[in-house]
Amino acid sequence: MPTYEVTCTFDGPGCGTPGGAINRSLNSVSSMREEGLDISHREVVISGDENGAASEMNARFSAPNEGIVGWHVWRARLPACGIRPVD
């Protein structure tokens, strides 16, 4: 199954925190799987800015297509700025 990477940024008002985004993401993946959608959380990498504040998160998901990942991003209210296939 393909893997997709979702890039989220936390540098604007209302973007929340990486911890909150991860919690919403895991809850959304769990709900989607219970509904019969094939999506799995793979990993998360959080990057900081020069001051050490979290500014970006890259999360990877396995899913049959990018549409399912996009639906997940919307459901989890992730501050996503892009989805790309990685393998």
**Interstrand relation of 80-85 and 54-62 (parallel, antiparallel or unpaired):** unpaired
pLDDT for 52: 62
> What are the pLDDT digits (tens) for 2-47?
999 999 988 766 677 888 999 999 999 999 999 999 999 999 998 8
For the question of whether the overall pTM of this predicted structure is more than 0.85, the answer is yes
Q: In a 10 Å sphere around its CB, with 0-12 CB exposed, 13-18 middle and 19+ buried, how is residue 39 labelled?
A: buried
Helix axes 18-34, 66-75, angle to 10 degrees: 120
The pLDDT value recorded for residue 17 is 83
Instruction: pLDDT band for 48, please (50, 70, 90 cuts).
Output: confident
Around 9, how many Cα atoms within 13 Å sit in the side-chain half-sphere?
6
- Domains in the chain, please, with CATH? 3-85 (3.30.70.360)
Residue 81, pLDDT above cutoff 70: yes
CA distance linking residue 39 with residue 15, whole number of Å? 24
